[in-house]
Amino acid sequence: MDFSNIEEKMDKTISVLTENFAEVRAGRANPAILNKVKVDYYGVPTPISQVAGISVPEARLIVIQPWDMSILKEIEKAILASDIGITPNNDGKVIRLAFPELNEERRKEIVKDIKKVAEEAKVSIRSIRREGLDNAKKEQKDGNITEDDLHSAETQIQKLTDKKIEKIDEILATKEKEIMSV
C-alpha cells in the first residue's frame, strides 16, 4: 500500500501550522505578519511584499518602503484594516510599524491561542489517519490486500501519525519558548 499520499497531506497540515505560527505577533518584528495584508494596487489586491521593500532594522520595528510612492496611503489603509493590531506610522516616505513590548498576561494569551491552533493541526492529522485506515480497510474488504497487509498498513499509518504529532509538539514548544522569552 502507498503511504506517500497520507504523508503528503500530513506534511501540508504541518506546513500550514508553521505559516500560521509565523504570522503570530510575538513581540519581535516579523515581516511574516504582513503576508495576508493586501493593498489595492490599481484595482488588484496585491501583497505588500510585491509593492514595497520590507525591512527589519531593529528587533521591534518593520519599515515598509513602497516602490511607487502613490500607494503609501493605500498600504497604510490596508494595515489599519487588517487585524495585526499595530498602528502604522507614515512619514510621507516610509511606513514604520513599531511593535510594543508584550506584557506577561498578553504572552500567556498568545500561548493559549497557539496551543489551540496546534491542537487543530493534530485533529487534522488524526483525520488524515482515519481516512488512511478507512482506505486500507476498504482495500482489504475488496480483496486487494490480505489481513496481514491491513495490520501492517495500520501499524505504519499509526507510526506516521505519531511522528507528525511529535513534530507539531516540537514546533509548538519552539514557538511557545519564543513568545515567553521575548
Instruction: Give the confidence band of 36 by pLDDT, cuts at 50, 70, 90.
Output: confident
The CATH code that applies to domain 31-98 is 3.30.1360.40
Concatenate the DSSP letters of all residues of the chain into one string: ---HHHHHHHHHHHHHHHHHHHTS--SS--GGGGTT-EEEETTEEEEGGGTEEEEEEETTEEEEEESSGGGHHHHHHHHHHSSS----EE-SS-EEEEPPPPPHHHHHHHHHHHHHHHHHHHHHHHHHHHHHHHHHHHHHHTTSS-HHHHHHHHHHHHHHHHHHHHHHHHHHHHHHHHHHH-
Q: Which three cell numbers stand for residue 137?
A: 480497510
**Domain ranges within the chain, ordered by starting residue:** 4-22+103-181, 31-98
Is the model's pLDDT at 83 over the cut of 80?
no
The pLDDT value given to residue 43: 85
Count, residues in the chain: 182
| Superfamily classification of domain 4-22+103-181 | Ribosome-recycling factor (1.10.132.20)
> What's this model's pTM, rounded to 2 decimal places?
0.69
User: Residues 50, 89: contact at Cβ < 8 Å?
Assistant: no
Is the model's pLDDT at 3 over the cut of 70?
yes
